[in-house]
Amino acid sequence: MPMNIKRLYLHVGLAKTGSTAFQKYMYKNRVSYLNQYKLIYPGTQTSHWVLAAQFHDHPSFNIEYNQLAIPDQQKQDWLREEVAKIESDLLNSNAETALISTEHLSPLSKISLERLAEFLKRFCEKIILLVVVRDPWEYSKSCIQEDVKNGILSGDIAYGYLRGNIEIIEKYEESITESIILLPYTFINKDINIISNILYYIDVPIIENPNDFKAQNKSSCYELVAIMAYFNTLYPTFGDSGQFIKNPIRDWMKDALNSVSFDGTPLTLPGCVVKSIYEESKKDLQLIQEKYLNGERVYSACYKHISCTGDDAPSEISIRKLDKDTLSIFLMRALEKSVRLSWEYNKERLQWAIKAMEAQSRNEIANSLKQELDNLIMLENESAK
């Protein structure tokens, strides 16, 4: 069977590089791009995280997989069905270009990435990797925010060079494709819209104002990160062996904390950390610039703009650095948010429990839970009057 799809672009979302905004833009406009430009954005999900989970040796390590509100025994079946929908879209469309966009590929082993590549090569003549890479200073702060948000980091957190990009990119190059387009994203050029930038390389026009999709995942303030990191010590997300710990109450409380409107302190790197990150990342940056950016010193040029800032910033993120008044105000606002969220999350937990009981043919318990859910909805409607 001849392949209609000449090029398949695999967009890999690294931390805080505008991936969520880009994915929402593409998902909303997927029909228009297919009809007008023969560009397919396949599947039924906003992003293609199901591929990252499906080809992981342990899908349960994937954050989105863990957050599925269905019983564990049904998750694998659901995952296979979603991957099959992507497969069907790619096989049956008249598209000439395809776009896959997903985060969380970096934890995959080379063998897992090779399996993903073999899967994608069935539908296209060529895979082109699109990687958006942040400067190491913003990337380090972003990794801290994401890892705290996802329950990976806890307690007191020291700033520093958390991880390099070149190892990840070269792993992709060895396992998936040698055709790589690297898009720099630094604090100097962060006003450049990442949606427009990616579409430029795919060679399709913008059909909706990309500025409407900016800042999907806003940066967290120091206070929120410090409180969440401490919260993670009390309600861990992962066990000692890395297994996910299911706890709807924890997730509810986390959402309440993240929903707080608080004019907090921006995360700022102290001067000594700025310098140490530069020293540790220098070889990494030089190799990226030489190998993927034709020698253009995009990242090295950032150092002189950032090296003189943040000399008085704290050297670590810790709840002990917060004064009692700030902590009290933040927690009181989180408490207010949790009350407002309680209706929605009680309903969600009940709906999840009903599905779980029905899946196990525990109909008597399921009917009892349905009655409780009806009562909760009735109370909610009365309170809204």
Domain ranges of the chain: 5-152+162-219, 220-266+323-385
Domain 5-152+162-219: assigned CATH number:
3.40.50
* Two tokens, residue 116: 């993903």
- Which of 229, 227, 245 lies closest to 332, judged by CA? 227
The pLDDT assigned to 371 comes to: 76
pLDDT at 1: 47
Assess contact for 293 and 284: CB atoms under 8 A.
no
Gap between the Cα atoms of 61 and 244, Å rounded: 7
Radius of gyration of the chain from Cα atoms? 23
Q: Which residues contact 244 (CB under 8 A, 6 or more apart)?
A: 60, 61, 66, 237, 238
Dump the DSSP string for 236-247.
-SB-TTS-B---
The pLDDT of residue 29 is 95
Pairing of strands 5-13, 97-103: parallel
Question: Per-block average pLDDT, block size 10, for the chain (385 residues)?
Answer: 83 81 93 96 94 87 77 86 95 94 89 96 94 86 87 90 79 92 78 84 90 69 92 87 76 81 85 88 88 88 71 82 85 71 57 58 68 73 66
Q: What is the pLDDT of residue 329?
A: 84
User: Can you read off the two tokens belonging to residue 314?
Assistant: 């704290």
Q: How many CB atoms lie within 10 A of CB 347?
A: 14
| pLDDT score, position 310 | 62
What is the structure's pLDDT at 254? Answer: 82
pLDDT value, residue 351: 65
**How many Cα atoms are found within 13 Å in the side-chain-facing hemisphere of 113?**
22
pTM of the predicted model as reported, rounded to 2 decimal places: 0.79
Say which residue the tokens 């990797």 belong to: 129
**pLDDT score recorded for residue 225:** 93
Structure-token pair, residue 99: 């776009």
Strands, E assignment, the chain: 5-13, 39-40, 97-103, 124-134, 157-158, 180-185, 316-317
- How far is CA 361 from its chain centroid? 35
Q: Which residue has the tokens 């004019």?
A: 263
Phi, psi of 8 (to 5 degrees): -115, 115
